[in-house]
Structure 1
């Protein structure tokens, strides 16, 4: 089997989404993840940002419900991530394939955009969970960057 064969069999998926998830109960996110991540989960490698919100919820669901490979990507270091995100990573550490720390000097918008581009550049598709329809959010910028790269994207509004 060649590397191309392996990449064809194993889809790589970047996950992007809102940090604001308190407007829905966790069970609704579980349903969304089952519907929209589940079909890819058995033969996929997921790239997830190490943030709160969709990142942490998707990590917990994937780690608990699937055998998918998971890479966590932090714009700086994991120690700079919010407590909730660090706790999600710690709870699922045995299921995480890799943690990538991009070591940004400052955790501002450019660092998060660089992290999102890093994930999209390595993924064959992106699944986005935006909360707002405004294209200025990081989630929409990631979805749009995926489109610019000519890659498929699945948009699941939350």
Structure 2
């Protein structure tokens, strides 16, 4: 499964996200599950921390360039969960711009059977979260969308 979501999470308490992940990730987080998570801040880091502490599922972190290019908070989350991360995939993009993030998102969807998206509340937009959800739809893959 691919997890995608907004980087803007400061509008909610951490306990709120823990409750949401318990409701929407836990049912899929068994010993056989494989989760692909982008190595960014926001939902990426929060879901990584939650899965590492609350499941035995395999976790793969996917960075558009390298982990070292990710924001400090994201690198810290990856470091904290290193013993629970099965794989780190660095796609090697030179510039971390929209095309690199979209390529990372497509890579994760292409390796998944399902996408769980946590977009910002409001109308569907052109964010990377919605790009990932819509790409999954084009591929005919199931999507669970949980606006936050």
**TM-score normalised over the length of structure 2:** 0.97
Residue 29 (structure 2) pairs with residue 26 (structure 1): no
Q: Tell me the equivalent position of 1:80.
A: 69
Unaligned runs of 5+ in 1: 1-12
Question: Residue 34 of structure 2 aligns to a residue in which SS?
Answer: strand
Unaligned runs of 5+ in 2: none
User: Please, which moves more after superposition, 125-134 or 137-146?
Assistant: 125-134
Pick aligned residue for 2:58 from 51, 62, 69? 69
Runs of 4+, deviation exceeding 4 Å: none
The CA RMSD over aligned residues, in Å, is 0.7
Counterparts of 1:27 and 1:71 in 2: how far apart (Å)?
A: 24
Residue 102 (structure 2) pairs with residue 113 (structure 1): yes
Which has the greater radius of gyration? 1
How far the C-alpha of 1:134 sits from its partner, in A, is: 3.4
Q: Tell me the equivalent position of 2:124.
A: 134
How far the C-alpha of 1:135 sits from its partner, in A, is: 2.2
When the two structures are aligned, how many residues end up with a matched partner? 146
Pick aligned residue for 1:150 from 137, 140, 143? 140
How far the C-alpha of 1:72 sits from its partner, in A, is: 0.1
